[in-house]
């Protein structure tokens, strides 16, 4: 391919990362086409907790996760679940993940993610102020605990973040202050930590609004599954299984947990596995002024259309595998004693979505060896928070040919 400024780009993947990349490419005068097998927000973007929470974007590969992983092998109700199956690819991934569950690797991931955390809120405000018609709501996130001693675990983690360069405004709460911030808190919760300066969105509404904005600016959305991406001396060619063919000057592969299916051909060797999360919506008897985090059971709760969206679990399973009802019941069983005024049996919008997890806590964003081919994915639980900032940085690289310093640690070919 000729090495020149791309005038047309195909973005494969219509989640928050792909659509943000498309939007910021359009800001730079690039003609964009978007391809997704299921349409806008069909993967992990629709049903997650909706947190734009740089203060809690903590890499998964901290050493304590190994303890959860071992417990998950014998307890299907554990927050982190690894099903007993014969999957050599999964076990190879878990071995690499375990090797990265040490403080040096965790600290490297924290520092690598700093630019995304620093730009996450601003990037959302740019989108919301420039035609993406969906609110970005400012609110603290309140973490709630059974005992003050348990709260110390999160406070230590926040101190480690600060030591690595990420300062998070926060305040410890006693039982009375916790009850004021979380009217749904049961008597079992006696301590809390308020994380200030955070945001939340209705994720489905926001991503659909972003998609409409991208289309209103001239993009075309194609609904098909990409079977192959190849290049010739002038163009990148995207093919579907039924023979549909698109071509452009460049392509961005932003297919979330399905990223390896297309990216492995281009020298991307860092494995990406689906860490599936579950969510549902329940009506509540008392107001929910802001997001609630229950760290001990790893459950996130967000105000959602007059009720509460409840999200949790990390289940390593094929991204297209059917929903496992036991995982949903495990979330309810763990959260029910901690929250009052929640009508658990009236749940709706039950969802499972695959979050793309890398073994080292760092996403894959940037160019591969073949000119004109870029990847963007592997953000784990923080794809929604980091998607717009990722899209802005990647659009800069695509249109200038220079990799921003913020993307150095995310090299897809590392």
Q: Which residues contact 21 (CB under 8 A, 6 or more apart)?
A: 11, 252, 254, 376, 390, 391, 394, 395
Q: How confident is the model over 138-157, as pLDDT tens digits?
A: 999 999 999 999 999 999 99
DSSP state of 138: E
pLDDT at 411: 97
Residue recorded with tokens 């200038």: 400
Query: Which residues contact residue 49 at a Cβ distance below 8 angstroms, ignoring those fewer than 6 apart?
Result: 200, 203, 279, 291, 300, 301, 302, 309, 311
* Domain boundary assignment for the chain: 8-410
What is the dihedral angle through the alpha carbons of 177, 183, 186, 191, rounded to the nearest 10 degrees? -20
Q: Give the separation between CA 228 and CA 240, rounded to whole angstroms.
A: 7
141 in Cβ contact with 290 (< 8 Å): yes
C-alpha separations of 352 from 42, 50, 188, 322 in Å: 11, 14, 28, 9
Instruction: Give pLDDT tens digits for 270-293.
Output: 999 999 999 999 999 999 999 999
Q: Could you please report the per-residue DSSP string of 357-371?
A: E-TTS--EEEE-SST
pLDDT for residue 409 is more than 50: yes
- What residues contact residue 198 under an 8 Å CB cut-off, 6+ apart? 51, 52, 53, 54, 55, 56, 138, 139, 140, 141, 291
Rounded average pLDDT over 30-45: 85
Architecture of domain 8-410: 3-Layer(bba) Sandwich (3.50)
Rounded Cα distance, 336 and 285, in Å: 14
In angstroms, the Cα distances linking 133 to 9, 39, 264 are: 24, 19, 36
pLDDT at 71 over 90: no
Residue 302 to residues 13, 178, 247, 287, 356, Cα–Cα distance (Å): 26, 16, 41, 11, 22
Query: Taking the mean position of all CA atoms in its chain, how far away is CA 410?
Result: 15
Band of residue 405 on the pLDDT scale cut at 50, 70, 90 = very high
Q: What are phi and psi of 226, to 5 degrees?
A: -80, 125
pLDDT band of residue 1 (cuts 50, 70, 90) is very low
- The 10s digit of each residue's pLDDT in 113-132 is 999 999 999 999 999 999 99
| 361-388 tens-digit pLDDT | 999 999 999 999 999 999 999 999 999 9
């Amino acid at each position: 391919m000729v090495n020149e400024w791309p005038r047309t780009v195909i973005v494969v993947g219509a989640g928050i990362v792909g659509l943000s990349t498309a939007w910021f490419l359009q800001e730079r005068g690039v003609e964009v086409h978007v391809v997704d097998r299921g349409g806008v927000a069909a993967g992990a973007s629709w049903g997650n907790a909706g947190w734009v929470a740089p203060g809690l974007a903590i890499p998964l590969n901290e050493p304590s996760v190994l303890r959860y992983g071992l417990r998950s092998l014998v307890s299907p109700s554990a927050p982190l679940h690894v099903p007993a199956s014969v999957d050599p690819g999964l076990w190879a991934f878990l071995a690499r993940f375990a090797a990265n569950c040490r403080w040096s690797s965790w600290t490297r991931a924290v520092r690598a993610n700093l630019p995304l955390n620093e730009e996450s809120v601003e990037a959302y405000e740019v989108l919301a102020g420039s035609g993406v018609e969906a609110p970005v709501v400012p609110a603290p996130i309140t973490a709630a605990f059974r005992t003050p001693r348990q709260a110390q675990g999160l406070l230590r983690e926040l101190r480690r973040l600060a030591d690595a360069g990420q300062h998070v405004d926060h305040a410890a709460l006693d039982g009375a202050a916790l009850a004021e911030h979380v009217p749904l808190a049961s008597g079992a919760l006696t301590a809390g930590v308020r994380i200030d300066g955070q945001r939340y969105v209705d994720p489905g509404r926001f991503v659909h609004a972003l998609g409409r904005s991208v289309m209103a600016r001239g993009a075309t959305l194609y609904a098909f599954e990409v079977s192959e991406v190849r290049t010739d001396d002038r163009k990148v060619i995207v093919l579907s299984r039924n023979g549909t063919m698109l071509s452009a000057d460049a392509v961005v592969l932003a297919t979330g947990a399905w990223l390896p299916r297309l990216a492995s051909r281009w020298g991307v060797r860092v494995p990406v596995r689906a860490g599936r999360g579950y969510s549902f919506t329940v009506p509540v008897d008392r107001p929910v002024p802001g997001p609630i985090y229950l760290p001990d059971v790893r459950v996130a709760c967000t105000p959602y259309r007059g009720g509460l969206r409840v999200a949790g679990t990390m289940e390593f399973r094929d991204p297209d595998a059917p929903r496992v009802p036991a995982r949903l019941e495990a979330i309810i069983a763990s959260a029910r004693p901690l929250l009052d005024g929640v009508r658990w049996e009236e749940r709706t919008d039950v969802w499972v979505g695959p979050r793309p997890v890398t073994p080292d806590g760092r996403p894959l964003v940037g160019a591969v060896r073949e000119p004109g081919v870029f990847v963007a994915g592997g953000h784990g639980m923080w794809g929604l928070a980091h998607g717009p900032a990722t899209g802005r940085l990647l659009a800069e690289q695509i249109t200038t040919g220079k990799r921003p310093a913020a993307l150095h640690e995310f090299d897809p070919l590392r």
